Amino acid sequence: MTLKNYLPYLVLFLAFTFTAQQAIGQERIYKMAQNPPKPKRGLEAFHEHVTQNVQKYKSGARGNVFVQFVVEKDGKLSNIKVLKGVGNTNKAVIKALETAPRWLPGKQNGRPVRVQKILAVKIG
């Protein structure tokens, strides 16, 4: 066989190698888990924490802020994004979520997993 015959196989091999290396270290983020994550002190206390912290920075804003974040395996919140904000509250909401107590992580087959959440938080 000539080099021309091996070239497609070489290209495929390199493509799979680079793809596999990119996937190493990246863990799946679940949209839903068998046991979803939840705040340790309950959802009501979590909403209260966020509302109180946002009011420190942005008084007068009212409405629902839609946020997306990932609950990590250790319960820490990461990848925090405001999907729909109210007034100038985006930075304050992100700061409130960054300082929120850790959650109980989601579990899949009895093991902690990363889970993405989207919540509406009432402000004001």
Residue 90: inside a domain: yes
All residues at 6 or more sequence positions from 21 whose CB lies less than 8 Å from its CB, including other chains: none
**β pairing state of 38-39 and 63-71:** unpaired
Residue 82: inside a domain: yes
Domain that holds residue 97: 28-123
CATH number of the domain where residue 33 is located: 3.30.1150
Residue 1: inside a domain: no
User: Total structural domains in the chain?
Assistant: 1
Residue 111: inside a domain: yes
Question: Around Cβ 34, how many Cβ atoms within 10 Å?
Answer: 12
Residue 67: inside a domain: yes
Residue 15: inside a domain: no
Report the distance separating Cα 96 and Cα 48, nearest Å: 10
Residue 20: inside a domain: no
Residue range 18-45, pLDDT digits in tens: 444 444 456 899 999 999 999 999 999 9
pLDDT confidence of residue 62 = 82
pLDDT confidence of residue 88 = 84
* Residue 97, token pair as written in the block: 């979520």
Residue range 50-103, pLDDT digits in tens: 888 887 765 567 889 999 999 999 999 999 999 998 888 888 899 999 999 999
pLDDT confidence of residue 122 = 85
Residue 72: inside a domain: yes
- Assess contact for 97 and 121: CB atoms under 8 A: no
pLDDT confidence of residue 8 = 60
pLDDT confidence of residue 18 = 47
